[in-house]
Structure 1
Amino acid sequence: MRAALWACDDILVDLEDRDVTVRFVHFKTHATVTVALRINARALDTSVEELKRRVEALAGDCVSDLASFLDGG
């Protein structure tokens, strides 16, 4: 992911269903990319800060993969 162009804007975690939604915003165009994930129950056995850090990194990898695919096409 191009760190200078994208920023994590919002992270929502549904603890009951273990659903996570992460939204990234492009600085120049204000385009948004939303990544939805379902996390393992074991992932909840950590602090909120650690969970947030892990989820943001995982979603960032998804956005990076998407960007690489689009750049190559």
Structure 2
Amino acid sequence: MKYLLVFAVVFIAVWLWRKNRREEMQSRPPPQKPPAVGAPQAMVRCAHCGLHLPAADAIAGPDGAVFCSVAHRQAASR
């Protein structure tokens, strides 16, 4: 009889705990989606140092060459 009473108390405690957890989970807002990743960009190589960088960040030089910075464009023109 003693074990039955202990079992009943443990069962009720677990049931109440799970009920509270379920209500807590339902009241939370849904998790945020991770930020969307943009489309891949074309990569180009600096004509002076060989660094690969996105074409949108590249600096155009003479004869269709691209550079990673103004300093490298000036160094190549010397």
Coarse TM-score class (shorter-chain normalised)? 0.3 to 0.5
Structure with bigger helix share is: 2
TM-score by length of 1: 0.36
Structure with bigger strand share is: 1
Q: Between Structure 1 and Structure 2, whose CA radius of gyration is higher?
A: 2
Q: Which has the higher contact order (CA 8 A, sep 6+)?
A: 1
